[in-house]
Structure 1
Amino acid sequence: MANVAYQTKEHQQQHQQQSQSQSKRVLKQKKRRISLGEKLIYVGFFAMLLFGAVQVVSNQAALYEVNASIQNLEGQIEQQERVNNELKLEVVELSTYERIWAEAKKLGLDLNENNVKVVKD
């Protein structure tokens, strides 16, 4: 009887070893390589991804240039508006009645009420 138990134990160990060797063989058979079509798909995907990234960066650079030129133009517009406002103030100062009367006296003109005509709308 002891011999039968020993034989059964040996038989189980052999069976386990065979199943382990078979499972190792199966693992080797399951090793799979990437096919040519899959490689092409992956390369195409990464090429599109790279192209999209380059497009985003180039668009951002173009936007930066446009914003810089807009800010430059806005600065020029503000400067020209300041010059225009200064010229308007000068026109207001030079067109006062007293100044015009003083310039007219310098040129020898005088106010003759008989020559004054009133124009109505």
Structure 2
Amino acid sequence: MNYYYRGNLAVDMEPARSSSRSKRTVKIKPTLPAGEKLLYLFFILLVVAGVGFVGTRYAQISEYNHEIQNLKQEIKEQQETNASLQQKIEEMSSRERIEAVARELGMVPASGAVEVIGGQPKKTEAAKGNH
């Protein structure tokens, strides 16, 4: 009962044909040959390695830049400290201060025993009396 198709009798009845179907073999070629796939894979790995190398170098450069900024700040602070210490040294080694401390300790200047190098000697009363 070829004409009876799932309960529908309004289906065209075709004469039964003997159809000879020939089998076709379809050969599906891969899209890319294996060698070309490997070449692309190698190229992608090379690009990823290059980007990774550049990224790590950039991170190192950023780290070095940060260290340089910290060192510059430390140098600036050290220079300020050195300047204040140098000013203190100049204050402490001034001739007037040394003479004042010597007088406080009870020392008296000897008129002929002091030689001043690099400066004008202070005129003392003993020196004024000799002239």
With the shorter chain as reference, the TM-score category is: 0.5 to 0.7
In the alignment, structure 1 segments of 5+ residues that lack a partner are 1-28
Counterpart in 1 of 2:75? 77
Larger Rg: 2
Equivalent residues in 2 for 1:28-47, closer than 5 Å: 33-47=31-45
What SS does the corresponding residue of 2:107 show, helix, strand or coil? coil
In the alignment, structure 2 segments of 5+ residues that lack a partner are 1-26, 118-131
What's the offset of the Cα at 1:78?
0.9
Counterpart in 1 of 2:97? 99
Which deviations, in whole Å up to 9, do the C-alpha atoms of 1:90-118 show, x marking residues without a partner?
A: 11112211111100001110012143357
Which deviations, in whole Å up to 9, do the C-alpha atoms of 1:46-103 show, x marking residues without a partner?
A: 0000110111111100110111111111111111011001111111112211111100
Q: Choose between structure 1 and 2 for higher RCO, CA contacts under 8 A separated by at least 6 residues.
A: 2
TM-score (norm: length of structure 1) = 0.67
Residue 40 and residue 92 in structure 1: after superposition, are their counterparts in 2 closer, same or farther (change >3 A)?
A: same
Counterpart in 1 of 2:6? none
Equivalent residues in 2 for 1:1-121, closer than 5 Å: 33-116=31-114
Which runs of structure 1 show a deviation greater than 2 angstroms over 4 or more consecutive aligned residues?
114-119
Residue-pair matches, total: 91
Q: Percent identity?
A: 34
Code of the aligned partner of 1:76 = E
Code of the aligned partner of 2:65 = N
More helix by share: 1
